[in-house]
Amino acid sequence: MNKAVKGLFHFIEESPSQFHGVENQRKAFLEADFTELSEAKPWKIKLGKSYFVTRNGSSILAFRMPKKSVGSYMIMASHSDSPTFRIKEMPEMKEGHYVKLNTEKYGGMLMAPWFDRPLSIAGRVIVKAGAGKLETRLVDFDRDLCMLPSLAIHMNREANDGYKYNAQKDMLPLISMDEKFNLKELVAKELSVKVDDIIGSDLFLYNREKGKVWGAKDEFISSRRLDDLQCSYSSMVGLLAAKNSDTAVQIHVTFDNEEVGSGTKQGADSTFLYDTLIRINESQGGNNSSLLTAIANSFMVSADNAHALHPNYPEKSDPTNKVYMNQGIVIKFNANQKYMTDGLAHGIFTEICKKAKVPYQTFVNRSDVAGGSTLGNLSNAHVSINGVDIGLAQLAMHSPYETAGVKDTEYLQKIATKFYETVIENISGSNYTVK
């Protein structure tokens, strides 16, 4: 297991929910002497220093200020959430001697792989902590707590002929045979608080299977939440490893809620990024014109994993743009602008790949298949910056246990570091220099 994969697995193991993922990044930035800022307070920002800010506890934006002046922003964006099941309020459902949890789908997932594997619960809990004071506590039971048992083939002879799952009936995990079981009581015990002090929560199921390296020559990795913690983690590592720039602000941002459209206060379709750019600009005495000038010299990499060619379904991929695991960074195109990549941005980014000595490949959907969108074009509607959509090739996207290439995490960390150290200048119109 190489160092990049080992670090990724550890990060994923400690990040069973988007809240845990952001908290772990927060800790990493604090250890690297980044200063934490609050959106609710004024900012004092100095050249050459590093900072970060969180929103909702599930999105984080970290940035390193240049040594001399702010001339541009080099931004890499990814997301913290993955398709899963959110636990509803008053979730206990009793069926005979069984107690199930009432859940609802979060995002568009493959349902079948959730069955017959140990699951646990993680997320955040809002707790009363004195008169008028509310605190957020993270909870991760970190044990085999519940399961979705399949219906036996004897009771559903057509199961292998295709089955349409009903989220309200089929996807309710079994958690206990104690008819007095109450989830809030279990949470209170885990957090060592009173049940009545819990006034809110955002709790999710997660797969307990640990990350593994496998294959005849250890070519593959499998883990939960590769989409998109593989990109978010690599972007963080790249920023921490990058050398300071003279004129470019280096920005790592991990948004929440990409899997449900990003239309939240902490999503890519929010003002989170633009609000931060405004405050950085103002901290240096800039005006609106200086902000727009810096944005015109900036570049964004939207990093969200991509579909590898499937060994059993090669016909599902584009006939000439075939993407493979372990073959480098995937640059994504879409004629209808579901991805932000265009020819100019592709040219700029591939120059950076060459400088980093990292291989790259291109992804385009089949022309008769509608593909998914990601966070790049949504964020771009708020901050108009040249950029590309990229990712790492993977199989079983939106499964609770996904597969990718063992080499690709290291490739992305290298390109992230080189990207942050790059300075792009808009000479005139569509003419650029890449240094």
- In sequence order, the β-bridge partners of residue 214 are 220
pLDDT tens digits for 387-404?
Answer: 999 999 999 999 999 999
d(CA 234, CA 8): 8
DSSP 353: H
Tally of helices (H runs) and strands (E runs) in the chain: 9, 22
pLDDT at 383 over 90: no
Region 105-117: what's the mean pLDDT? 96
pLDDT at 371 over 90: no
Nearest-CA neighbor of 2 among 220, 209, 207? 220
Please report the pLDDT score of residue 39 as a whole number. Answer: 97
Among 41-50, 163-172, 333-342, the minimum mean pLDDT is found in 333-342
Confidence of residue 378 (pLDDT cuts 50, 70, 90): confident
HEC string for 53-111? EEECCCEEEEEECCCCCCCEEEEEEEECCCCEEEEEEEEEEEECCEEEEEEEEECCCCC
pLDDT tens digits for 53-107?
Answer: 999 999 999 999 999 999 999 999 999 999 999 999 999 999 899 999 999 999 9
Count, residues in the chain: 435
pLDDT tens digits for 218-273?
Answer: 999 999 999 999 999 999 999 999 999 999 999 999 999 999 999 999 999 999 99
User: Which residue did the predictor score with more confidence, 129 or 277?
Assistant: 277
Please report the pLDDT score of residue 47 as a whole number. Answer: 97
What's the mean pLDDT when you consider all of the chain? 95
pLDDT tens digits for 183-226?
Answer: 999 999 999 999 999 999 999 999 999 999 999 999 999 999 99
pLDDT tens digits for 4-23?
Answer: 999 999 999 999 999 999 99
Share of the chain above pLDDT 90, in %: 90
pLDDT at 372 over 80: no
pLDDT at 1 over 80: no
pLDDT at 137 over 80: yes
| Domains parsed from the chain with CATH numbers | 3-82+224-434 (3.40.630.10), 84-207 (2.30.250.10)
d(CA 297, CA 299): 7
Whether the Cβ atoms of residue 171 and residue 93 lie closer than 8 Å to each other: no
Whether the Cβ atoms of residue 386 and residue 344 lie closer than 8 Å to each other: yes
Region 40-45: what's the mean pLDDT? 96
d(CA 178, CA 230): 39
- Could you tell me the sign of the dihedral formed by the alpha carbons of 57, 7, 397, 315, in that order? positive
Please report the pLDDT score of residue 149 as a whole number. Answer: 96
Q: Which helix (H) or strand (E) holds 234?
A: helix 226-241
Confidence of residue 382 (pLDDT cuts 50, 70, 90): confident
Whether the Cβ atoms of residue 44 and residue 36 lie closer than 8 Å to each other: no
